[in-house]
Amino acid sequence: MAQRRLSEVAKKVGVSEATVSRVLNGKPGVSESTRQAVLTALDVLGYERPTQLRGERARLVGLVLPELQNPIFPALADVVGSALAQQGFTPVLCTCTGGVSEPDYVELLLAQQVSGVVFAGGSHAEDDANHEHHYELVRRKLPVVLVNASIDLDYPVVSCDDAVAVEQAFGHLVALGHERIGMVLGPRDHIPSRRKLAAFRACADRVGLTVDEHTIGHTMFSVEGGQAVGTRLVQNGITGLICASDPLALGVIRAVRRLGMNTPEDVSVIGYDDSALMTCTDPPLTTVRQPIEAMGRAAVELLAALIAGNEVSMEELLFEPELVVRASAAPARTKTAVR
C-alpha cells in the first residue's frame, strides 16, 4: 500500500503506520479490536482490502438521523462514524428525507444483518409517532442506543440535560434584566421540548413570570417555524426568547428584523445546540452547546458493549450543556411590568 494510504488509515484509526502495516500483512502483535478498526477504515476510505482479507465481512451499524439540514446532525454523524470505525464497525448512514421513512430504513438495516443501530433525534423522541419498528427491534433483541430523550423503550439513552439548558438560558436573560421572556419549542409531542417547557415553567415560577400562549409557542424545527412563532411572540411584547434549536433561533432573528427591530437591541435571542457556523451569523448567536463529542462517543461505547454481549445500564445518561455567550443577547432596553 502506498505511504499516503498507510498514513490516512493510521490517522483515521488513531494508530501508527507500523500497526496498519502489521494488520495488512497479517502479522501478530495487534489486538482484535485494532485489527477490525483498521479493516473498517479501509472500507470507509474506499481502499481495497488485501486479497487475503477480502473474505471478511465488515461489521455494520446503522446510524439513523431525521435530516441533515440542521448542522447538529452532520456533526453528530461525524463523531459517531469515527467512533464506530475505531471500534471496528462500518457506519451505515440513514437520513429520513426524500420519502424514505425510519421504518423503511429499519427494514433495510435488518436485511443487511447489521450488528446494531444508533437512533438520534428521530421518532423515538416523538410521543405520537409510529413506534412499531422500535418494538420490532426490541423483540429481535438487536443492540440499539438512542440519542435524545425517548419514549419508554428498553434501550440505553444518551441525552443532553434539557432542564439545565433552559435554566442556563433563562438565568442569563434574567441577569440581563429581561422580564418578558418567552420560548420557541418543537412539536407538542416532542419529548425534549416537553422537558424544556417543564423547566421553563419552573424557572418562570421562581421569578414570578407568567407562562401562557402569549409567551410560548410550538412549531416545526426549521428557520421558517422559528420565524412564524417568533413573529407572534415579539408582537406580544416578549424581549428575550429561548429557542429549542439554533435554526429556530435564526428564524426568530429574521422575524425581529421583518418587524423593523434589531437583535439584540430590541429582542435578545438564545439558541440551542451550538451547531456549525453560529459564530458567523449576524449577530453571532448566543446559544446552549450540546456536548456532541462526549454524547456520540458514549453512545458508541454503549452499543459496542451491547454487541459484545455485556450488560449496560438502562438509566438515561444526562450530559451537561454549556451556555456560550456571543452577541445575540443583551441587557433589556427598558423594564416592563411583569404579567
Does the structure show a pLDDT above 60 at 57?
A: no
Which H or E run includes 106? Answer: helix 102-111
Is residue 44 classed as helix, strand or coil in its secondary structure?
helix
The rounded mean pLDDT for the chain is 91
Summarised one tens digit per residue, pLDDT across range 249-305 is 999 999 999 999 999 999 999 999 999 899 999 999 999 999 999 999 999 999 999
- What's the pLDDT score for residue 53? 61
Does the structure show a pLDDT above 80 at 136?
A: yes
Summarised one tens digit per residue, pLDDT across range 62-103 is 999 999 999 999 999 999 999 999 998 999 999 998 788 999
- What's the pLDDT score for residue 261? 98
Question: Can you say whether residue 280 is alpha, beta or left, with left for phi > 0 and alpha for psi between -120 and 50 degrees?
Answer: alpha
DSSP labels, 56-81: SPPEEEEEEES-SSSTHHHHHHHHHH
- What's the pLDDT score for residue 99? 82
Q: Which residue's C-alpha cell is 429582542?
A: 267
CB 76 within 8 A of CB 65: yes
Does the structure show a pLDDT above 80 at 45?
A: no
Summarised one tens digit per residue, pLDDT across range 150-196 is 888 889 999 999 999 999 999 999 999 999 999 999 999 999 999 99
Q: Cα–Cα distance between 211 and 231 in angstroms, integer?
A: 17
Give the pLDDT band of residue 338 (cuts 50, 70, 90).
very low
CB 153 within 8 A of CB 134: yes
Summarised one tens digit per residue, pLDDT across range 9-22 is 888 889 998 998 88
Cell of 235: 408582537
Does the structure show a pLDDT above 50 at 337?
A: no
Sheet holding 216-218, edge to edge: 216-218, 181-185, 240-243, 268-273, 286-289, 322-324
Q: Which is it for the CA torsion 82, 277, 298, 157, positive or negative?
A: negative
Closest CA to 39 of 15, 62, 74: 15
Summarised one tens digit per residue, pLDDT across range 232-257 is 999 999 999 999 999 999 999 999 99
Is residue 326 classed as helix, strand or coil in its secondary structure?
coil
- What's the pLDDT score for residue 304? 95
Q: Cα–Cα distance between 42 and 85 in angstroms, integer?
A: 10
Give the pLDDT band of residue 35 (cuts 50, 70, 90).
confident
Give the pLDDT band of residue 27 (cuts 50, 70, 90).
confident
Does the structure show a pLDDT above 60 at 339?
A: no
